[in-house]
């Protein structure tokens, strides 16, 4: 009975999340506000029902977070270079997506750093991934969560973003199961985002 309640709660949370993301990607003019609201609800759900671990010292999760965030950025950067060399039209697609949905002012960056990144990790890794472990093994939970995470990007129609989200989900998911530290994952995600959009943007 308890597992059934948890499953229903998880499914309702995912339905809410995907419906809100569909609306969010349709409403480009208020995209950042709707996305932030969705993640705030995700934070609330995760805070009530999720499970957050922090089993490594502060210095270690900072070092690992910076390292893995940089490595993940390197993987995405390398993928970008390869795919744009193979298919020149892909660069225009990526540029168009980033111009439409990417951060372009200080408020967007603040929302991204303090709400969106935090919300994504609390909801996907801290809540969804941990709940799935009630029914499947940790490895399968990581793969399933990565697929669900990628599907949240698929709503936008940006298939390259779907691939990037799936790879990132695998890295952060397995890293969380290995190090058992959500702050480490959040730092890694923050570093990745800062490199991707501020320090060394793709375009």
Distance between CA atoms of residues 76 and 162, nearest Å:
12
* pTM of this structure: 0.94
Distance between CA atoms of residues 196 and 141, nearest Å:
27
Q: Report the pLDDT value the prediction gives residue 85, as an integer from 0 to 100.
A: 87
**All structural domains of the chain with their residue ranges:** 2-199
Distance between CA atoms of residues 147 and 145, nearest Å:
5
Residue 84 token pair: 């744009």
pLDDT in tens, the chain (203 residues): 677 888 899 999 999 999 999 999 999 899 999 999 999 999 999 999 888 888 888 889 899 999 999 999 999 999 999 998 888 778 888 888 988 898 989 999 999 999 999 999 999 999 999 999 999 999 999 999 999 999 999 999 899 999 999 999 999 999 999 999 999 999 999 999 999 999 888 77
Q: Report the pLDDT value the prediction gives residue 71, as an integer from 0 to 100.
A: 96
Q: Report the pLDDT value the prediction gives residue 55, as an integer from 0 to 100.
A: 85
Distance between CA atoms of residues 36 and 178, nearest Å:
29
Q: Are 75 and 167 in contact (CB under 8 A)?
A: yes
Q: Are 132 and 144 in contact (CB under 8 A)?
A: yes
Q: Report the pLDDT value the prediction gives residue 51, as an integer from 0 to 100.
A: 80
Distance between CA atoms of residues 79 and 164, nearest Å:
9
Distance between CA atoms of residues 133 and 121, nearest Å:
16
Q: Report the pLDDT value the prediction gives residue 26, as an integer from 0 to 100.
A: 92
* CA-to-CA separations, 83 to 92, 163, 164, in angstroms, rounded: 12, 12, 12
Task: Give rounded-to-5 percent helix, strand, coil for the chain.
Answer: 85, 0, 15
For residue 46, list its beta bridge partners: none
């Amino acid at each position: 009975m308890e597992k059934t309640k948890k499953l229903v709660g998880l499914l309702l949370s995912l339905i809410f999340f995907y419906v809100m993301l569909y609306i969010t990607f349709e409403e480009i003019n208020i995209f950042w506000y709707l996305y932030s609201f969705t993640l705030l609800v995700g934070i609330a759900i995760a805070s009530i029902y999720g499970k957050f671990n922090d089993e490594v010292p502060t210095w270690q999760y900072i070092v690992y977070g910076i390292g893995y965030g940089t490595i993940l950025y390197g993987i995405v950067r390398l993928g970008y270079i390869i795919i744009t060399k193979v298919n020149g039209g892909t660069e225009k697609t990526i540029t168009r997506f980033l111009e439409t949905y990417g951060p372009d002012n200080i408020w967007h960056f603040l929302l991204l750093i303090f709400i969106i990144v935090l919300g994504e990790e609390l909801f996907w890794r801290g809540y969804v991934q941990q709940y799935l472990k009630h029914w499947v093994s940790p490895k399968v939970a990581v793969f399933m969560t990565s697929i669900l995470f990628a599907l949240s990007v698929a709503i936008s129609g940006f298939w390259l973003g779907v691939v990037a989200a799936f790879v990132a989900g695998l890295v952060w998911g397995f890293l969380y199961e290995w190090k058992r530290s959500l702050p480490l994952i959040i730092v890694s995600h923050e570093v990745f985002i800062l490199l991707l959009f501020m320090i060394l943007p793709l375009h």
